[in-house]
Amino acid sequence: MVDTLWGKVREALQAKIAGKDYETWIAPLHAVAWESDRLTVATHSPLARDWIRQNLVDAVLAALRRVAGDGATFHVVVQGTAPGRPARTVPMGPVPQARETLPLGLRRYTFGTFVVGSSNAVALQSARQVVEDRNSRFNPLFLYGGVGLGKTHLLAAIAQGLVASKRSTVRYLTAESFVNELIVAIRRERTEAFRRRFRGVGTLIVDDVQFLAGKRRSQEEFSHTFNALHELGNQIVLASDREPDALPGMEVALRNRLSSGLMVEIEAPDGDLRAALVERKLAARHLTVEEGVVDLLREQWWENVRELEGLITRIEAFAISGAGPITRILVADALGRCARKPPQRATFDRVVHEVCQQFSVTREELLSRRRTARIALPRHVAMYLCRHHTDRPLAAIGAALGGRDHSTVVHGVSAIERRLGSDDDLRASLRQLQRRIKG
Ligand code: ADP
Ligand code: MG
């Protein structure tokens, strides 16, 4: 398994990197393990290991992910020194049916690896219910929320849970695959067979339903499938990046069907869940860290779990095996080189809205001329954020925030800058605000 996988990755790499680099660095490597979606390859030379980490990680990761799915990670060790990581492949366990239906990369998504917090507890609970309760009252179960927040993870966990319980036949696919299969069926005039195939499924799980938006013929066929299964009392589980009512270009009838069961939103993780995610994701990769690193990572700029995993992959690539726990300096170094998103501009209204929420003041108060101490701090924060994250000229910011002039804004902004040096709470709340005003 691992050799086949590595063979494919090498093939993909050969097409992408210079022949000399390939011969020098990639060809001599050999694969030692493919475990929890992580490929470990070995070299005899520490020099080669470091060179690969510094120069080829991105290329290898990209090739690996093309072959094995988005969640795959890559690790290079000097042979014989992989700390505590045995050089062996681990059989994946008998999940024959899930194997056919679930893409390779989704098999590590189980309930056991899902980290729960207040923003996703209901979603997790409902997903479990689908597996445990044959006559689920949630039909369809419709999960929605922003990208990278665990929708696909939960769908895959349901699929595997059902397969393990042998209670129901299950099929997982994305709406995109549904559409592609439909197109092929139409072309070959096999739509009857297409319908039969779906209608025999005990639990149908369709991911990324938003893909159906604007595709009338596909929506029609999907509605037929949906109705047929629903009438039989078969379970349907769906995920989408937004709720049915917010999906553009969706037939009204289908939209109503999609919202006829239980709809659950997964929200962005709060501070506690962020910390828990950092800890679990580090542990999953057997990374030990020095004190303070968890906090550092929790506070980093990541808006969803996929981004956090990306950061950790970076750090992992920098870490030197067997050199003790990962230090804050290493993390800062690794993150410093990581390409940040281009900063987005926020709007004045968004800043006002978020500042009001954060400090529990009303919009009227914030924009008023009142000078009470309770409002002074939020107003200065709003000035600071507008100054740094919007394109409004200072005079306009001042005029909108309490009818002040340009020099009041300069004063407000520098008051915040001074305080940031010593006030941890303010720093934390500014960081949160900065995250939210760009969302
Ligand atoms: P979505 O489908 O909502 O875009 P995914 O399910 O693909 O997001 O999640 C992105 C990555 O983040 C996956 O690797 C997934 O395992 C991980 N992830 C998301 N939420 C959690 C969670 N609560 N616990 C553990 N991992 C999570
Ligand atoms: Mg997804």
> Among all ligands shown, which has an atom nearest to the Cα of 174?
2
Ligand nearest the Cα of residue 107 is 1
Question: Which atom of ligand 1 approaches the CA of 154 most closely?
Answer: 6
Q: Where in the chain is the domain with CATH 1.10.8?
A: 271-336
Q: How far is the CA of 307 from the centre of ligand 1 (A)?
A: 10
Which one of the ligands is nearest to 266 CA? Answer: 1
Query: Pocket residues for ligand 1 (CB within 6 Å)?
Result: 71, 109, 113-115, 120, 147-153, 305-306, 309
How far is the centre of ligand 1, averaged over its atoms, from the C-alpha of 139 (Å)? Answer: 23
Report the atom number in ligand 1 closest to the C-alpha of 114.
24
Say which ligand is closest to the CA of 312: 1
Kindly report the CATH class assigned to 2-78: alpha beta
Question: How far does the centroid of ligand 2 lie from the alpha carbon of residue 151, in Å?
Answer: 5
pLDDT at 99: 40
What does the alpha-carbon distance between residue 256 and residue 273 come to, in Å, rounded to a whole number?
33
Q: How far is the CA of 306 from the centre of ligand 1 (A)?
A: 6
Nearest ligand 1 atom, CA 116: 23
Class in CATH terms, 271-336? mainly alpha
Residue of 122, 149, 172, 273 best suited for mutating to test ligand 1, as the one with most atoms within 8 Å of CB: 149
Alpha-carbon gap, residue 424 to 173, rounded angstroms: 46
Residues in the chain, how many? 439
CB atoms within 10 A of CB 61: 19
Ligand 1 atom closest to residue 124's alpha carbon, by position in its atom list? 23
* pLDDT tens-digit profile, the chain (439 residues): 788 888 888 888 888 888 777 887 888 888 888 887 888 888 877 667 767 876 787 888 888 888 888 888 888 887 754 333 333 333 333 333 444 568 888 988 999 999 999 999 999 999 999 998 866 678 999 999 999 999 999 999 999 999 888 877 899 999 999 999 999 999 999 989 998 889 888 899 999 999 999 999 999 999 999 999 999 889 999 999 999 999 989 999 999 999 999 999 999 998 899 999 999 999 999 999 999 999 989 988 788 899 999 999 988 888 876 678 899 888 888 887 654 544 567 888 889 999 999 999 999 999 998 888 889 999 999 999 998 888 888 888 998 898 888 888 888 888 898 888 788 888 888 888 988 887 6
pLDDT of residue 59: 87
Give per-residue pLDDT as tens, 256-291.
Answer: 999 999 999 999 998 899 999 999 999 999 999 999
Res 88: pLDDT: 33
pLDDT at res. 97: 42
Nearest CA to ligand 1 atom 6: 150
Q: How far is the CA of 251 from the centre of ligand 2 (A)?
A: 23
Q: Would residue 157 be called left, alpha or beta, if left means φ above 0 and alpha means ψ between -120 and 50 degrees?
A: alpha
Q: Is 190 left (phi over 0), alpha (psi -120 to 50) or beta?
A: alpha
Options 3.30.420.40, 3.40.50.300, 3.40.50.2300, 2.40.10.340; which CATH number does 96-265 get? 3.40.50.300
Q: Where in the chain is the domain with CATH 3.40.50.300?
A: 96-265
Sheet with 73-78: list strands edge to edge.
30-35, 38-43, 73-78
Q: Where in the chain is the domain with CATH 3.30.300.180?
A: 2-78
Let me know: does 165 contact 97? Beta carbons within 8 Å.
no
Q: What is the pTM of this model?
A: 0.61
Q: How far is the CA of 50 from the centre of ligand 2 (A)?
A: 33
As annotated, the residues of the chain forming the CATH 1.10.1750.10 domain(s) are 348-437
Residue 126's pLDDT is what?
Answer: 95
Shortest-distance Cα residue to atom 18 of ligand 1 = 150
| Closest-approaching ligand to the CA atom of 284 | 1
Q: What is the CATH number of domain 348-437?
A: 1.10.1750.10
| Ligand 1 closest atom vs CA 146 | 3
Cβ atoms of residues 140 and 261 within 8 Å: yes
Cis peptide before 343 (omega within 30 of 0): no
- Find the 153 Cα to ligand 1 centroid distance in Å: 5
Which residue is closest in CA terms to ligand 1's atom 23?
115
- Interatomic CA distance for residues 61 and 39, integer angstroms: 10
Instruction: Report the nearest atom of ligand 1 relative to the CA of 108.
Output: 16
pLDDT computed for residue 241 by the predictor:
94
Atom of ligand 1 nearest to the CA of 207: 2
The residue type at 47: L
